[in-house]
Structures are given as structure tokens and as C-alpha cells.
Amino acid sequence: MTATRKVRVRFAPSPTGGLHLGGVRTVLYNYLFARRHGGDFVLRIEDTDQSRYVPGAEEYIFSCLAWAGLEPDESPLKPGAYGPYRQSERKAAGLYQQYADQLVRDGYAYYAFDTPEELEKMREQFRTEDNPSPQYDHNVRMEMRNSLSLSLEETNVLLEKGIPYVVRIRMPEKETITFTDMIRGEVSFDAGLSDDKVLLKADGMPTYHLAVVVDDHLMEITHAFRGEEWLPSAPVHVLLWKYLFGLDKMPQWAHLPLILGPQGKLSKRDGAKYGFPVFAMNWTDPRSNELTEGFREKGFLPEAFTNLLAMLGWNDGTEQELFSLEELTEKFSIDRVHNGGARFDYEKAKWFNHEWIKRVDINKLQEAVSPLLAEHGFDVSDQHRVAKVLGLVRDRCTLLPDFIEQAGFFFQRPANIDAAAVKPKWSEAKNLFFTELIRNFELATLWKAEELENNFKEIAAANQLKPGDVLLPFRVMLVGGKFGPQVFDIAEVLGKEETVRRIQQALPLFN
RNA sequence: GGCCCGUUCGUCUAGGGGUUAGGACAUCAGAUUUUCAUUCUGAGAACAGGGGUUCGAUUCCCCUACGGGCUACCA
């Protein structure tokens, strides 16, 4: 690793469906690392499996990153000097075949002509209780149909006849592969235990194994982050680097701990099962029409989302837990990433969101909440007023949709008045009080919370009532129920006319 | 089955040879807010087990257990 190389990292999702928590966290760590080191963050689309192509999945990934504020420096949408950024296009440009050929030529890989049926037959044949999943490895490769077991002539005949083939890596029988992972330190594998992975498929497409090495090289990637589930195939990649480009050029690997669900690796199924989102945004599978909920639609702020993701496996060594993206950029370091998998805790996730709703810039809050309010038919044309309302109720909202309930009465007269909360303690004195209050309010010239409260208390005293006796009825009149912020603040925002009208309309319900 | 990774309160984690093992979420109990939420205070709650190494291990090493991942012409 030459220290002088510019840091370049990449996130390489396959566009096969929604983008889940773990994926976004990988993006986040990539992004943070790139920013921290003045490097580039590249988004590369791993669409080498045509059979798994899902329309819309790619666009969906772009939107998720945009929403989370984790925009790449280079991507299919924003090509840099290392394009194309889709592997299907890179394949079309002939980028992979030559390396597969080179490997075969050098004896590190071979052609294999086995059909899927033959492979299945082999697995069945060798499957025992002790070996439930037989591999295509050095133990069996000489019994299969490939350029190792066949003579050169036989191989050439098959090749000339156009018999479909794949290129497989020839894993060395006795070799220990060791490399240093940024998170785990030194890890080593016995190469002979791994199977001869397919590098190039029969359709000419590379598999992930070939593509990731070739592309990381061509794109000059210096640090490669990915989930821990990739660790077992890392020796294949290391070997490929050694054969093709040299270990000194290999990026530094960092295998991120997994994000676990209630049981095992977090899956989209967990979301529906336990009632929390697992994708960044809502995703509807175009085939099954099945909807998987996203954090955005559930009502999370992007600030909270990135914050909680960052804390799932990383901390800065202090007791601070609330970090803006800017702060994270400043403080993130890969060696403070925890090794163990982290179980996702939705309760804590909500806490993060609550905190961010309380502290985020009011303009950003407005941006996120106004559309929601508008959707519910509330008039949000007066943005100044909306800001005031949000400021008043934000403390009591954990998820964005909570604003509908918490702020709704500012925009719409309550449909139901909780008279039952008031009636048992209602009295003629109170009725008189409110009649007088209406008169007083109608004449008010200064419509300010403080002023209103003073008037309110004076009138109460004049009627031999304690303010507390009439505060709750007043609240119920304005809000409809026993909730909401300071009642005089509410009255101020509601305005004179509306406040008076609500008192007038509710009063008969208590008598 | 094989291989790999991991293991501190229920959860996310700090710490690291000698600490009352710290914080946060959640839970419970109080206080404040004449609504609710916020806020505040407090409580209970953890080093998986066994061997070493050491004057001393939660911390270092080994084994076991447990958890997880991988074991496709998927990524």
C-alpha cells in the first residue's frame, strides 16, 4: 500500500432490491472514511447477474443515498475518470474476459464445461452426513469436465464447438492465505479448503469474485469495506490480486461486523415480523408487489438515521452519542469500529430520532414535516406559522407522523371534544368565567401568551376560581383533549378569532 | 459436517492486568411541569465456562460452550 495514493473507496451494491440498514451503514463508513481522508467515494453497480435484475432497484439506491445525505463523488449518475460504473457496461467494454484468459494462461484458472445437471450430480454423489455441501475443489476437479482433467486437444475441441464453459480459479491445495484486515487484524485461511470459485460465467459475465478484484484495481480503490459475510471468500480475492495485479496494489480490507436482527443476520423479513423498518426507504418488489417499510416513510430524519447507524458498531471513545454527519466526518476512525455483530434495537433507534427531532434545525424539520401535514389536508402555506407550531410540539414527537396528532389542532378545529374530562367538575361559576373570558379576549389588543395568561388569571380570581380549575377546560376547548403544549402558547398561535370561536363552540358541550 | 469471525448489564457499548467495571436505550420508582410529552433524580441489571501466565486476571494465551457468517455459473 503506497501511502501516497489518494484514498478511494467504493460501495458496490447489486440492484436486486431494497437497501437495508447494513448496506447504508457500509455506505456511511465508506463516505466518512473518504471525507476524513480527503478521498473519493465511488458508487459502482454490481449488476453481473442478469437473472436477478430488478427494475427500479438502481434508481432506488440512488434516492436512498440522496435522502441520507451520503452522495457519492462518482457514480453511474455522476461519472468520473474511472467509468463505466455499471459492471454490465464494463463487461460490454470487454474489461473482464482478458483477465480471465490471463489467469488460464498462467495456470491459475481453468475452463470448466460441466453443466448445472452435472454439478448437481456431483454434489449428490459426494454428499454425506459429514459433508453436507460438497464443493468443486481439488478433491473432485479431476473427476469433472474441465481443462485440467481433459487433454489439451479435448479441451480445444469443446472450445471450438462452442460448448458453454465457465472459468474457475484453481485454488492451491496447500497454501495459507493471510492478510491484515483493518478491523480484525491478521486473518488466515487454508486455500485448499475453499472451492474453485467460478470467475467467469457461461454468459461471459464475471462473477463478483473476478469483478470486485478487476474493478477495484481499475478504479484504483485503496480501501475496501464490506460486510463480514464476505470474509470466507476473501482468500479468493487475495489470490486473484496476487495473480493479476500484485499484493502491493491490493486495497486494505475492512470486513464490517454484521447487523443482527432478533435472530441472526438482519433480514427484510424481520421488519414485517417485528414491526420496524429495515430498508432506508419504502421498497416495493415489482414482482411480488410486496412492500418493505423504510426508515424515511416510518418518519425518521436522515440526521437520526445516519447517527444511529454510525453508532451501531462504532463510538468515539467518549460518552457522546449524538453526532451530526459533520461531526462524524471529523471523528470517524476505522480502528474504533467494534468487531462483534450488533443487534439492531428499534427502541434505541426511536430515541435517536426523538433527539434529532428536538435538536435539528427548524428549517430542516419543516422540510420533512410540511409535506406530511399537507397530505393530511392541513394548510401549510404560512411557513412562519408552521415553524412556530413545530417548535411548540417537537418535544413530544418521536416519529415524524406524530406531528399529525400533536400539531393537527393548530390547523383544524378538533373534531371531538373530550367533554368527559371536564364535565364531572364543571360548574356554573366556570361557565360564567368562560363567558367573561370570551368578552375579555374579544376586546384584547395585544394577543400574546403572557398577556392572555394574565387576563385569564385575573378573571379567574374575580370569579373566586383558581387558575388550575379552569385551565384544563380551556385546554380541552382549544385542543379537544388532554394533551399539547402550554395552553396560552396555543391560544397565541391560534389567534384571537379562532380561540374565541373554539371557546364559544365548546362551551355548550360542558353545560 | 467443514472453515472463518465473534462473546462486558435485556440491547448498543466504554474500559483494560490492581476500577465501587462507566455511559446510553429499555424497565421500575420518585420529583417537576395545575394536561400530555419533555426534563431531572434514583434503583435494579454484565465481564459465557474451565484451564493456564501472573503477586494479581474481566483484560494476555489455550480449550470448551454459545452466537453468527460462509460453504451457488447470488451478491
Q: Is the pLDDT of residue A265 over 90?
A: no
Closest CA to A431 of A458, A463, A455, A478: A463
The b/e string for A354-392 (b: 16+ C-beta within 10 A; e otherwise) is bbbbeebeeeebbebbbebbeeeebebeeeeebeebbeb
Query: Which CATH number, 3.40.50.2300, 3.90.800.10, 2.30.42.10, 3.40.50.300, labels domain A97-209?
Result: 3.90.800.10
For chain A, the structural domain boundaries read 1-74+257-359, 97-209, 361-411, 413-510
Contact A182, A228 (CB under 8 A): no
| Digit-coded pLDDT (tens) for A375-390 | 999 999 999 999 999 9
Nearest nt to A193, CA vs C1'? Answer: B3
CA/C1' separation A436–B56 (Å): 80
Please tell me which residue lies nearest to nucleotide B22, judged from CA to C1'.
A319
Alpha helices in A245-299, H assignment, sequence order: 268-274, 295-298
Would you state the pLDDT for residue A264? 82
- Dist. CA A444–CA A499, nearest whole Å: 12
Strand B bases within 7 angstroms of protein beta carbons: 1-8, 10-15, 22-26, 34-38, 67-75
Task: Please name the residue that has the C-alpha cell 425518521.
Answer: A300
- pLDDT grade for A424, boundaries at 50, 70 and 90: confident
A150: number of Cβ within 10 Å: 18
**Buried (b) or exposed (e) across A24-63, using 16+ Cβ within 10 A?**
bbbbbbbbbbbbbeebbbbbbbbbbbeeeebeebbebbbe
With bands split at pLDDT 50, 70 and 90, how would you rate the model's confidence at A165? very high
Q: How far is CA A437 from CA A440, A460, A462, A487, in A?
A: 5, 9, 11, 14
Residue that is written with C-alpha cell 451494491 in the block: A13
Name which CATH class applies to A413-510.
mainly alpha
Question: E strands of A216-301, at which residues?
Answer: 223-227, 252-256, 259-260, 283-284, 291-292
Backbone angles phi, psi at A465, to 5 degrees: -120, 145
User: A1-74+257-359: which CATH architecture?
Assistant: 3-Layer(aba) Sandwich (3.40)
Q: For residue A460, give the nucleotide whose C1' atom is nearest its CA.
A: B34
Helix (H, G, I), strand (E, B) or coil at A251: coil
Model confidence at A2: pLDDT above 60:
no
Query: In which element (H, E) is residue A176 found?
Result: strand A176-181
Whole-number distance in Å between A396 CA and B30 C1'? 22
**Integer Cα distance of A309 and A30 in angstroms:** 13
How far is it, in rounded angstroms, from Cα A23 to Cα A32?
14
- Candidates A270, A253, A251; CA nearest to A261 is A270
Cβ contacts of A225 within 8 Å, gap of 6 or more: A9, A11, A26, A29, A30, A33, A254, A256
Q: How far is A397 from A388, CA to CA, in rounded Å? A: 15
Average pLDDT, rounded, for chain A: 94
Domains A97-209 and A413-510 share a fold: no
What's the fold here for domain A361-411?
Helicase, Ruva Protein; domain 3 (1.10.8)
- Å separating the CA of residue A223 from the C1' of nucleotide B33: 52
Q: What is the pLDDT of residue A423?
A: 87
Does residue A308 register a pLDDT over 50? yes
Task: List beta partners, residue A86.
Answer: A45
The residue-averaged pLDDT of A426-454 equals 92
Query: Model ipTM?
Result: 0.94
pLDDT tens digits along A66-113: 999 999 999 999 999 998 999 999 999 999 999 999 999 999 999 999
pLDDT digits (tens, 9 = 90+) for A24-73: 999 999 999 999 999 999 999 999 998 898 999 999 999 999 999 999 99
Q: Which residue is nearest to nucleotide B39 (CA to C1')?
A: A395
User: What does DSSP assign to residue A78?
Assistant: B
Average pLDDT over residues A357-366: 95
Residue A234: count of CB within 10 angstroms of its CB? 19
Active site positions of A, annotated:
268
pTM of the model: 0.94
CA–chain centroid gap for A96, Å, is 31
**Please, what is the Cα angle at A252 between A309 and A18, to 5 degrees?**
35
Q: Please name the residue whose C-alpha is nearest to the C1' of nucleotide B14.
A: A317
Give residue A437's identity as a one-letter amino acid code. Answer: L
Find the mean pLDDT for residues A294-311. Answer: 96
**pLDDT for residue A71:** 97
Q: Give the C-alpha separation, A70 to A218, whole Å.
A: 23
Sign of the alpha-carbon dihedral angle for A104, A110, A113, A115 = negative
pLDDT value, residue A3: 54
Distance CA A392, CA A493 (A): 10
- Please provide the distance, in angstroms rounded to a whole number, between the alpha carbons at the two ends of chain A: 82
Q: Which nucleotide is nearest to A318 (CA to C1')?
A: B14
Whether residue A1 has pLDDT greater than 50: no
* Phi, psi (degrees; rounded to nearest 5) at A369: -90, -35
Instruction: Answer whether residue A130 shows pLDDT above 90.
Output: no
pLDDT tens digits along A199-231: 999 999 999 999 999 999 999 999 999 999 999
Cell matching residue A205: 459475465
